[in-house]
């Protein structure tokens, strides 16, 4: 037994012999006794690791749930610190696993497993469930998508037919002119039946039981559209300079049908049939441009140097391309069409495609953009007063949601630049649509196409064939 006056305090020895080492010792002591996940100084030993009570409770809850998380920032490298109010669930869970915590199936989990039929247990083939309401992915279970209708099962029968018109010139000489006729009557009937069918309505709820509205619902709708249309991987997509118009027409039919179905899970379903038709027709021209660019950037990435833009779900084109129909258009005809739209296509690539690639929109921002176009009803003259008031409320709501997303989730003190770029993109798309219409109206394109059959031409309010959608 050593007397107390002979016992040596090791810290006192270190302090006297190495005065500068005292701070290092305190620093090491604090570092050792902090949570390995969130650096919380109040921690305990859990599975032989220093972990705070909050992280322990979260880890135990997470292993008892049938849940797959998604990174709220899309980076899988979120900063985790105990002073942060809201953690990224995926990054927190991943870090807890990386420090050596191991799953131990609890009695609660075992009892749940015994009650659930084998075919409903989660596996890699099921859609993930995103719990966080401000994820860049939808915040609801995508399992409902699996049980929904598939556009692939629909029979798209509308065809592109060739008519040969005989024209007699002033000199009395007869000339043949080939005209492509698009019979889109079935397409209009299909869209009308989707919009008027109340059985297609879907009320979305997250795991807390709250109904999804605003950007969450639109994000879900766009993922529904993506699942129906963009099903090919980057290896299966063909890069080509010759694009077939027949495939473009078929792609347009699929997209119009898929978009109509997707919108029925948003506030869109609260409108009457006429207002739905008017807002849908107002959205479609801009949507068909934005979705092709957004999903092409999503597939190839914002850092891809060359231009890659979807023409249809199977083909992408570069900066220069020819449009035609095999065995119908000659090479000179295809080149003439390219020259005809060269300036408008150049505007699309420079002003819209490159700008969208530069800001690299995520799912929430793209959802905001589409919502902004859908509910901006100032120019929709025949919209009812109730529909106009409702659209203003939705616009205010999605703007508040985007502000909360930027300030709370992404911690952006100044997001005005990104917001202004989004609004400029919408304006440029509408300018591109106007330029394209001017080219069609002012040129001799009617020699090759029967423009009276264009779906965009059928969207005007004075079109008698559109009235049946409103009844």
| pLDDT confidence bin for 27, thresholds 50/70/90 | very low
Neighbouring-strand partners of residue 167: 175
| pLDDT confidence bin for 171, thresholds 50/70/90 | low
Tallying the residues shown for the chain, one arrives at 471
Q: How many CB atoms lie within 10 A of CB 419?
A: 17
For position 295, what pLDDT does the model report? 94
Averaged pLDDT score across all residues of the chain: 73
Torsion on CA atoms 237, 238, 244, 249, rounded to nearest 10: 10
- Write out pLDDT tens, residues 97-111: 888 787 665 544 444
| pLDDT top residue among 388 and 152 | 388
| pLDDT top residue among 298 and 463 | 298
Look-up of token digits 């999903």: 295
Residue 47: which of 94, 97, 91, 108 has the closest Cα? 97
- Write out pLDDT tens, residues 44-53: 888 878 888 8
- Write out pLDDT tens, residues 189-223: 888 888 887 666 777 766 666 667 788 889 888 99
Tokens coding 432: 């591109």
Look-up of token digits 């150049």: 346
Would strands 309-310 and 315-317 be described as parallel, antiparallel, or unpaired?
antiparallel
Cα separation, 458 vs 465, whole angstroms: 7
| pLDDT confidence bin for 240, thresholds 50/70/90 | confident
For residue 353, report the phi and psi dihedrals to the nearest 5 degrees: -60, -50
Q: Per-residue DSSP letters for 220-248? A: HHHHHHHHHH----TTTPEE-SEEEHHHH
- Write out pLDDT tens, residues 265-275: 878 888 888 88
Q: Which domains does the chain have, with CATH numbers?
A: 20-67+80-113 (3.30.50.10), 143-165+173-469 (1.10.565.10)
| pLDDT top residue among 231 and 181 | 231
Q: 3-class SS at 337?
A: helix
115 pLDDT more than 80 = no
For position 159, what pLDDT does the model report? 57
Q: How many CB atoms lie within 10 A of CB 219?
A: 27
pTM for the complete prediction? Answer: 0.63
Look-up of token digits 């297609």: 200
Hey, CA dihedral for 44, 50, 54, 59, is it positive or negative? negative
Under a CB-based contact definition with an 8 Å cutoff, are residues 180 and 325 in contact?
yes
For position 128, what pLDDT does the model report? 32
39 to each of 80, 93, 102, 104, 287, how far by Cα in Å? 8, 15, 20, 24, 46
What stretch of H or E contains 273?
helix 273-300
**How many Å is the Cα radius of gyration of the chain?**
29
For position 421, what pLDDT does the model report? 94
């Amino acid at each position: 037994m050593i007397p107390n006056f002979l016992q040596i305090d090791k810290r006192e020895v270190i302090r006297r012999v190495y005065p500068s080492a005292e701070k290092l010792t305190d620093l090491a002591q604090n570092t050792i006794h902090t949570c390995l996940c969130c650096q919380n100084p109040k921690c305990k030993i859990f599975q032989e690791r220093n972990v705070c009570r909050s992280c322990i409770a979260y880890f135990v809850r997470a292993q008892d749930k049938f849940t797959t998380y998604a990174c709220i920032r899309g980076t899988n490298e979120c900063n985790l610190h105990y002073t942060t109010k809201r953690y990224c669930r995926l990054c927190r869970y991943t870090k807890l696993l990386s420090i050596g915590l191991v799953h131990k199936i609890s009695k609660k989990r075992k009892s749940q497993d015994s009650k659930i039929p084998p075919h409903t247990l989660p596996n890699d083939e099921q859609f993930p469930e995103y719990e966080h309401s401000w994820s860049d992915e939808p915040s609801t279970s995508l399992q409902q998508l699996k049980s929904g209708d598939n556009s692939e099962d629909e029979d798209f029968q509308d065809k592109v037919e060739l008519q040969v018109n005989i024209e007699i010139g002033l000199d009395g000489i007869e000339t043949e002119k080939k005209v492509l006729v698009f019979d889109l009557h079935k397409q209009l009937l299909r869209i009308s039946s989707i919009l008027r069918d109340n059985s297609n309505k879907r009320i979305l709820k997250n795991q807390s039981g709250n109904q999804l509205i605003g950007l969450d619902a639109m994000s879900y709708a766009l993922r529904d559209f993506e699942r129906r249309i963009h099903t090919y991987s980057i290896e299966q997509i063909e890069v080509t300079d010759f694009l077939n118009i027949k495939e473009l027409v078929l792609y347009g039919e699929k997209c119009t049908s898929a978009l109509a179905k997707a919108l029925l899970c948003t506030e869109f379903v609260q409108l009457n049939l006429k207002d739905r038709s008017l807002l849908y027709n107002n959205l479609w021209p801009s949507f068909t441009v934005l979705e092709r660019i957004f999903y092409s950037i999503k597939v190839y990435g914002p850092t891809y140097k060359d231009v890659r833009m979807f023409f249809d779900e199977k083909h992408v084109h570069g900066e220069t391309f020819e449009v035609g129909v095999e065995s119908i258009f000659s090479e000179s005809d295809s080149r003439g069409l390219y020259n005809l739209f060269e300036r408008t296509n150049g505007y699309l690539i420079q002003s819209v495609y490159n700008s969208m690639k530069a800001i690299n929109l995520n799912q929430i921002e793209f959802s905001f953009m589409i919502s902004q176009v859908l509910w901006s009803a100032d120019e929709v003259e025949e919209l009812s007063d109730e529909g106009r008031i409702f659209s203003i409320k939705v616009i205010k709501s999605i703007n508040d949601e985007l502000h909360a997303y930027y300030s709370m989730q992404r911690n952006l003190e100044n997001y005005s630049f990104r917001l202004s770029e989004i609004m400029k993109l919408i304006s440029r798309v509408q300018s591109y649509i106007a330029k394209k219409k001017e080219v069609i109206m002012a040129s001799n394109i009617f020699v090759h196409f029967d423009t009276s059959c264009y779906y965009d031409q059928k969207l005007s309010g004075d079109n008698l064939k559109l009235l049946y959608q409103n009844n």
